[in-house]
Amino acid sequence: MAETSPDLSLPELSFADAADGVIAMAHYAGAKGLVPATSGNFSVRMTATHAAVTATGANKAALVRDEVIEAEIAGAKHPRASAEAPLHLVRYVHAPEIGAISHIHSLAATLLSRRHEAEGVLRLEGWELLKAFSGIHTHETVMEVPIVPNDQDTDRLAMLVERRLRESPPGFGYLIAGHGLYVWGATYQDVLRHMEAFEFLLTAQLYEEGRP
């Protein structure tokens, strides 16, 4: 597993620049079929206290600026925040090195998270494309991606996730069973690369395991 050295000094971003990053991630995910039926959500940290986040109900594949809101990371809930906004915001609280987060519903993530829910973890091992994650320099890596059960109470789910992540080696994302994938990075460009790498690796893993 690569070590990610927390970077406490990410540059501050204006809302306009952060929203551009949110839109770039959303359009990429939409074009690749990773956010079916208006699912998924995206965020970019602006400062220690604020982040740009997709508003509830938007079609992410065609996201426009008006559908990105400026949310307080630890403050009151924004009136247009989606139900899943807490899952983004608590990550920014606990991980100062994170500058951007995507939540996507890819087919491979949905299937593998259900199949391995009882184990609580999905292991990705030996694939060259593991090197696409920031700080991983060899395929001789075992990436352990935590899997948590799904829960419609997202505040409770966020607390569970953070507890699991504190016990896990530093990583780049986690799965919610039958639901999808959260993936992060220092910048939205890193998250674009990490989304593409997870999509390839999860699809390869799904094929390699075969079917039930």
Residues 8-27 that bind a copy of itself (CB under 8 A): none
Measure Cα distances from 129 to 135, 159, 212 in Å: 12, 31, 25
- The only residue of 20, 27, 38, 134 in contact with a copy of itself, by rule CB under 8 A: 38
DSSP, collapsed to helix, strand or coil, labels residue 122 as strand
- The only residue of 6, 75, 126, 169 in contact with a copy of itself, by rule CB under 8 A: 126
Size of the site for a copy of itself (CB under 8 A): 40
Q: What angle do CA 23, 34, 67 make, to 5 degrees?
A: 30
Is residue 139 part of the contact set for a copy of itself (CB under 8 A)? Answer: yes
Give the nearest distance from C-beta 198 to a copy of itself in angstroms.
9
Q: Which two tokens stand for residue 23?
A: 């839109």
Compute the distance between CA of residue 79 and CA of residue 112 in angstroms, rounded to an integer: 34
Q: Which two tokens stand for residue 96?
A: 């100062």
Measure Cα distances from 28 to 18, 105, 123 in Å: 16, 13, 26
Which one, 28 or 92, has the nearer CB to a copy of itself? Answer: 28
Which one, 111 or 121, has the nearer CB to a copy of itself? Answer: 111
Is residue 155 part of the contact set for a copy of itself (CB under 8 A)? Answer: no
Residues that bind a copy of itself (CB under 8 A): 36-39, 105, 107, 110-111, 114-115, 126-129, 132, 137-140, 150, 152, 176, 178-180, 193-194, 196-197, 199-200, 203-204, 206-212
